[in-house]
Structure 1
Amino acid sequence: MTPQRPARPVASKDMTFRELHDGALPLLLPNAWDVASALAFAEAGFPAIGTTSFGVAAASGVPDGRGGTREASRALAHALAPLAVFVSVDVEDGYSDNPDEVASYVAGLGVAGVNIEDSTDGRLVEPEAHAAKITAVKAANPDVYVNARTDTYWLGEDATLSATLERAAAYVEAGADGIFVPGVTKPAELRELAVNLPVPVNVLVIPELTLAHLADLGIRRVSTGSLPYRAALDAAVAVATAVRDGQSPPSATPYPVMQERLTRYARS
């Protein structure tokens, strides 16, 4: 029996990437780590796809957040260019302390947006240094959506609402199009971030809060981060252990379907 061909991606480029942040619900951005995962998200109808530096780093056998994904992230950005969806790339801290070098790197990606974080190797950097990178990126790439990430809550450094808002305000003044605060989960703090910042606020998936709940709090974008990558590894191990233990393995997308998906991609 010939497997049914998956539906084509829901075309998204009738809108701009920026306009996707203005819907009734927050923009849900699934994060891919390679071409196959991005194709799967596109086939599922997501209008925009992010990348996860953790997934890219782990697939390459290097730790996240230490600059080891520079070339792999650039290669992935170029590989995803043929997809009929918007792509936003996680560029860690920009892979340089030099703002002009960061701007040049972003210019070479050819994507709709980037995430750039204000920490290096697990430590916060001075907000002025991060703001300088944002200013340089926007000056050289005015059409790129810069999602400025602050890692106060993520790293547990200056993890207060006031310190986070102070950093975020500096990044908005520097030209950031959005603010990403991973690790913040309390509804009251989420609301305060959304109320006090004039740009879309992005958070990671919060299991106890639906997209509708987050919309009510003023959140405009939700990223899956490395969760899909980590869940995929768990699923792979579950397949092997089920067979080992005499159980039926879980079902999966048929091989011909995924092969046909890759064939269409290769032809593009």
Structure 2
Amino acid sequence: MFDRGHGPSGSTLFHALHHGDRPLVLPNAWDFTSAALLVDAGFPAIATTSLGVAAAAGLPDGRAASADETFALARRLTRLPVPVSVDVEAGFADDHEEVADYVARLADLGVAGINIEDGRDNTELAKPERQADLIGAIKARVPQLFVNARIDTYWFGIDRESTLVRARLYAGAGADGLFVPGVTDSATLSALVGATPLPLNTLYSPGGPDVDDLAALGVRRISTGSALYRAALGAAVGLARTLRGETGELSTAPDYRRIQALLAAADSPDADPTGT
């Protein structure tokens, strides 16, 4: 048996999970208990959701605000007997060596992989060559770590024509997987699968292809992103509203923008710190 899912053998297992007969369904947890329950449900690996980790601490996602919270959760998750992949947003720093230092510290905890994005501040994209340099710096420090390179062209809806260029650059820099959230059409997915030999990661979408269709297209990993966290919030609010006598559809999951807006409002200088 491998050593609790992490360390060199855990990283090797995590790599192997991307090359099985079926795509790796990788659920994204936001705290230790959500991760532990997913492991108990039989999932062979766990990832984190940057939105869930940040929002649970009252911090915005995608703004490099939750480095400490992410690291603290990673430390706890490596107690689990499965490989763990950590979403580090864009690396929580501008300096490549500083990012590599942070990722190396995660690897020292026993983390098997990371997800790192080329989006910046939820509004723009890093230059592809600079992002490739960042990926190269990380792999030079922790070559055994699975680096999932997220491309945000479709997620942001900008510069989509650079997607395949980015995919090839990031693969050439040493990335182990490619993640292009926001793509659901079969033709684009097929083009992405064929762009590099790296396993393609997609984001689960209720309106997109199912697992069988994604497998037939060559997708090797399916992430849930913030969907589980948001579903849990929706269920909690729905139950609370039921208890005060409301009826009807009460458990709708809040979307990403709604959560970010709530966090921004709470952080506003005009917010009442007493909550009154």
Give matches, 1:77-226, under 5 Å. 77-109=74-106, 110=109, 111-122=111-122, 123-160=124-161, 163-207=162-206, 208-226=208-226
Q: Contact 2:24 / 2:220 at 8 angstroms: preserved in 1?
A: yes
Detail structure 1 runs of 4+ shifted over 2 Å in the superposition. 11-15
1:17 paired to 2:18:
no
Rounded to whole Å, the distance in 2 between the matches of 1:126 and 1:40 is 39
Q: Does 1:66 align with 2:67?
A: no
Q: Paired residue for 1:36?
A: 33
| Cα shift readout 1:150-208 (whole Å, capped 9, x = no counterpart) | 10000111123xx1010111000000000000011111100110012210000100223
Question: What is the CA deviation profile of residues 102-155 of structure 1, one whole-angstrom value per residue up to 9, with x for unaligned ones?
Answer: 111001113000000001102101111111111011111011000000100001
Give a deviation string over 1:7-50, Cα, whole Å, max 9, x none.
xxxx9778710010112211000000111111111110101000
Distance in 2 between residues matched to 1:81 and 1:16, nearest whole Å: 14
Which amino acid is the alignment partner of residue 39 of structure 1?
A
Distance 1:30 1:40 in 2: 11
In structure 2, relative to structure 1, the CA distance for the partners of 1:241 and 1:215 (3 Å cut) is same
Letter in 1 for 2:215: A
Q: Which residue of 2 aligns with 1:265?
A: none
Q: Which amino acid aligns with 1:201?
A: L
Q: Are 1:46 and 2:43 matched, yes or no?
A: yes
Aligned residue identity for 1:136: A
TM-score with structure 2 setting the length: 0.82
Q: Please say if residues 167 and 195 of structure 2, whose CA atoms lie closer than 8 Å, have aligned partners that are also in contact.
A: no
Partner of 1:234: 234
Which residue does 1:245 correspond to in 2? 245
Instruction: Provide the secondary structure at the position in 1 that maps to 2:158.
Output: coil
Q: Identify the match of residue 73 of structure 2 among 52, 72, 76.
A: 76
Q: Which amino acid aligns with 1:182?
A: P
132-141 vs 238-247, which deviates more?
238-247
Counterparts of 1:55 and 1:70, CA distance in 2: 13
Aligned residue for 2:135, secondary structure, equals helix
Q: Which residue does 1:26 correspond to in 2? A: 23
**Structure 1 vs Structure 2 CA RMSD:** 1.7
CA 1:246–1:201 in 2, change beyond 3 Å: closer, same or farther? closer
Deviation at 1:246, TM superposition (A): 6.7
TM-score by length of 1: 0.85
Aligned length: 236
